[in-house]
Structure formats: structure tokens, C-alpha cells
Amino acid sequence: MGKIRARKVFKNPNHFFEFWLANLAKEVRNDSWRVSRVYSQALASLRKYPIKLTSGKECEILSGFGPSICKILDRKLEEFARMHSLPIPEALALGNRLSNAELHRRCIPKIEVLPYQPFSLIKDLPTPAVSSTVPMDPLSCEGDASPSDYLIGRAYAIILLIDVRETFGMPKVREIMRTQAVEWEARSLPVGDFVWIARDVRGPTKCEEIVLSLVIERKRADDLASSIVDGRFLEQKGRMQKLGFRKMYIFEECKSMYNLRISHETLLQAMVNAQLIDGCDFVTCTSSEQCAVYLASMTRLLINKSQPMILQFNCAVYSDGRRPREAFGGARLWGIPWTEYVNLGKKSPALPLREQFGRHLLQVNSITGSKAEYIVTVFPTPKSLFVAYDSLSTEDEKKAMLMRSNRSSRLKYVKCFGVST
């Protein structure tokens, strides 16, 4: 009879580390799904490992663990050992034996709930003395001014405007708008694919058309990927920011969204950055039909908001860069004149060739701002630089051409980008 090799298998051998990874993933889930996913991947890798680990540092041998996660686990272990006055090995053994509920009771700090005692803070504040010798400053008219005009409730119509360049899936969009009785028009929009206007139904007035404070840009997954690569996404987002409106993106999925020029994770990260940094809202749709239904629902919402049954709302009209308070802007309809919307949404004028050449030079490794400035000063166009290279006979002369400088900026060397004849 052959020998049987016995092997001791531990059940849940690293329970203490698993407990903390699960809690860390849960804590950051609302703030950053990406970080939470990193913790979850490390937890899944640790659960597959059948051998006891003696420290967080040893976890680096497993997939999904980096130096940061290992340092966090070691710090949690040291705090647990200090709390129970035990050496590190004994503290880890104790943590592996305890249940989740017991670890939660011992490790997670409790929040003390105090009984509610109502009291007034305002009555205890002293009344400030106003000096008659100091004149009161007038209110600033920027960002928080009263509107220039009003459109009276029930005196204007809410109309959806669709950019004429928005052509993908438009037959379905037109059909859905017609079946849901949504009034819409196709017009060339300077920024955004969809906006709403309030048009005075009483005839031509000073506020004939007002663009409401919401601009929507529709991005299919493939279009979003290409716009990120060529810089259109950043440029469009900047022009939307200048309006002062609520900014919204409709992200439309497509079949090739996982086989694009950039990864699907990069698309998601771009959307998360736009939400957290730029304050944009994102709505995900699976088709152009679902996008059209959402736009129709948004149109009905704006119409209901402008014409309530009990309280009559007026559309406040702002101009000259003035905008309402954020709280007011969220509760009431407001907008800006069409002409101001067009002026704010215009694309920046094309840069001169010299400035474009300088921007391209900055993309080359080791080319700093001062070096690029000197190059475009001596050679304002790429052609002039190529001609200067072609006029030199040897390779050494070409490499040393930009080293010669009479300026006092201590520019000693500019690494060229490999132009040769």
C-alpha cells in the first residue's frame, strides 16, 4: 500500500485580512467605485489562497495586492494588536478566530448618539451694531442678480431644439416625437445636441426666444471614444461650461463599445471625471429610441414645471453674464436670450499657424515651454524649420543647429524630433 500524504487545510485562514478588505470596499463604494473594485479584487484573490499569512506584506505575492493595500492591512493589524496589548502574531491569531460580528464590535468605532435637546441659536446671538459712518456696499451684479425680464406663465411654449448635425437614429426620434405629441424643431446649435426654448405665444417681443437652462449632449460609445482621442470632448465640455447651464450627457451604448480605440474602462473614467470634476449629469441609454423617449419625458417635465395648476411660474430671463442663485435656479425656470446662447457657445477662433506649431512642439518629450517658444521665434512654421534642416549638409550640423542661441535664457540644448533629409 502506497504512502498517503496528509495536508492540513485551513478553513478561512486569513479571516482578519478578509474582514478589513470587505469593510474597506464597502466604505469607499459610494465615493469611488474604481477603488472599491480594487479592494474587491484583492479580497477575491485572498479567499482563494489556502495558507495562513503572517502580515499584510506577505499579501504582495497574491494577485490584486499592491504596496498601498498591504500597508493598510499592516496598519490595521498593528492597531488591533495595540488595542488588545498583544504581540502581532497573537493578535493576528485572535483576529482570525473571531467572527465578523465580534471583529466589527471590537474594531469599528462606535458613534455615540446624544439625546436631542431643542434650543434656539438665533435668539442667543447679539444684534450687530451697524456704524452709520461706513456706507453699505451695493450688491454685485455678477452671478446673483435679478433677471432682466420675465416671461409670464402660460404665455410661452416650450419647444425642443435638435441640432441639425445630429443625424444618427433621427427617423426613429422623429416618429417617437410625433407619437408622443412633442413639439420640436431642427436647428443649428452652437453647443449641445438638444436644448429647449421658451417662445412667447403672444407674438414678437423683446424676449421672443429664451434658451432654458439645460443643455444635453448625446454621445454614442464610439463617438465618445473618438472625441476623447481628438480632443473634441474636452473642447465641447468647456463651451458647455461657459453657458452656466445644467450640463447633461446621454451616453448611448453600441455593439462595438468594447472594441474601440480606447478601452471601455477609459470611457467610464472619462464619464466619472465629468461628473465629479465638471458637475455634469450622465444618463445611459441602450438605443436611440430610448434616448428619444427620455427627451420626450424631459420636455413634458419642463412644460409641467412652467404651467402648474396652482402656482403660476414665470420664466426668469438673465443676460450680460448674470445668473440666478443655485437654489433658485433649481426650483424655477430660467434662461438666457438666444443671441447670448449663440455668442457663448461659439467655438474659439482658429489659432495662428505659429501657435499651433508651438502646441504641437509641447507634445514632444523633453520640449518645455521656453524651448518651444524659442523654436517658434526662430522658425515660426514647420516648413521654415524643415528648410533650415535641409540647408545643412551633415547630420552633426543638423543636431547642433538649435544649440546655438544668443539669448540669456540658458537654453543649452533642444532635443530635435528626428527630422532628416
The catalytic residues are 163, 166, 193
Separation of alpha carbons 412 and 421, rounded Å = 24
What are the CA-CA distances from residue 22 to residues 17, 40, 103, 311 (Å)? 9, 7, 12, 50
Within 8 A by CB and 6+ apart from 335, the residues are 197, 198, 210, 211, 212, 213, 315, 316, 317, 318
What are the CA-CA distances from residue 254 to residues 231, 250, 292 (Å)? 21, 13, 16
Q: What are the percentages of helix, strand and coil residues in the chain, rounded to 5?
A: 45, 15, 45
Contact status, residue 245 vs residue 345, Cβ threshold 8 Å: no
Within 8 A by CB and 6+ apart from 96, the residues are 12, 13, 14, 15, 16, 52
What are the CA-CA distances from residue 216 to residues 76, 104, 222 (Å)? 46, 45, 18
Q: Is 64 exposed, middle or buried (0-12, 13-18, 19+ CB in 10 A)?
A: middle
